[in-house]
Structure formats: structure tokens, C-alpha cells
Amino acid sequence: VRYIVVESNVQVDDRLGWLYDEISRLNEIDRSVALLMLDDFSYKEIATVLGITDSNVGVKINRIKKHLIEKSKKYDNHGI
């Protein structure tokens, strides 16, 4: 059982490393949106910090999620 937990933690660490690596590859504004979202900022708070509208934050988050989902599929299928 302990081996399974350790293996699971390693997989989570690998996945988080992958996620932050992909976020670092985004353009500056999208990277900021993603990191603020991960820090539990609201759309309004993100908009205020970045000087963009709430609706633009929503659009950016949806596009970032789509991008990361596509990259994740490739990562899962190929271990890239």
C-alpha cells in the first residue's frame, strides 16, 4: 500500500511539474491569468490586477484550459 501512495505522489509531482512548465510557455498575460487563477483569484480580481475586463478574463481562461487539455492529451498519450 505504501508503494502505491509513493507512486501516486510521484505521478502528481510529475503532473504538476508538467502543468507549471506549460504555463511558463504561455505569453505573459495568459501566464499571469493562469497563475492568478491557480491562486484562487476571482475573475474580477484578475481583471483588476491585469487591467482587462472580467469577460476578457473568462475568454482567456477558457482558451488556456482548451490549450492545456490538448497538451495534456499529448502528454498522456506520449509521455512528452
What is the domain-level CATH number for residue 52? 1.10.10
Above 90 in pLDDT, residue 1?
no
10: containing domain: 2-78
User: Is 22 in contact with 30 (CB distance < 8 Å)?
Assistant: no
State the chain's mean pLDDT as an integer: 88
Given pLDDT bands bounded at 50, 70 and 90, which one contains residue 74?
confident
Asked if the model's pLDDT at residue 2 lies above 70, the reply is no
Q: pLDDT: is 65 or 4 the higher one?
A: 65
Residue partners of 50: CB distance under 8 A and separation at least 6: 29, 32, 33, 36, 57
Amino acid at 69: I
Domains in the chain, number:
1
